[in-house]
Amino acid sequence: MKQLLIFFISFLLLTLLQTVSASEDPIIAKGKQLSQTCVGCHGPTGIAPDPSRANLKGQHELYLVNQMKAFKAGTRKDPTKVMNMMMLPLSEEDMKAIARYYNSLGN
């Protein structure tokens, strides 16, 4: 009886642990952290308060990565050049994490 109880509790704990780790994808967490410098223009939920700036929430990951790479490379220029400068310190891996984070915020 005692063994059965221990088995049952371990099972419950394992299920709980799996639920927690699934909701905390480390790449999304990294993207969220890196996006702190974007919040001022693209909003805390990826919806830009100013209509001259893009909404990023729910956007396709590939599209976001492609735009970020183009800004960094200078093949896409934004009128104020701010996006070109914002991308300079980011690696492709950083961009993928940011893209996954904004995509995960849904539509």
DSSP for 11-33, written as a single string: HHHHHHHHHHHHH--HHHHHHHH
Q: Judged by CB under 6 A, how many residues of this single chain contact ligand HEC?
A: 19
Contact between 67 and ligand HEC by CB under 6 A: the answer reads yes
Choose the stretch contacting ligand HEC; rule: CB under 6 A; options: 8-16, 17-25, 60-68: 60-68
Contact between 33 and ligand HEC by CB under 6 A: the answer reads no
Among 28, 72, 97, 98, binds ligand HEC (CB under 6 A): 98
The Cα 20–Cα 38 span in angstroms is: 27
The Cα 30–Cα 97 span in angstroms is: 6
Among 15, 23, 52, 91, binds ligand HEC (CB under 6 A): 52
Among candidate residues 70, 72, 59, the one with its CA nearest the CA of residue 99: 59
The Cα 25–Cα 21 span in angstroms is: 7
Contact between 78 and ligand HEC by CB under 6 A: the answer reads yes
Q: Using CB under 6 A as the criterion, which residues of the chain lie in contact with ligand HEC when the complex forms?
A: 35, 37-38, 40-42, 52-54, 56, 64, 67-68, 78-79, 82-83, 86, 98
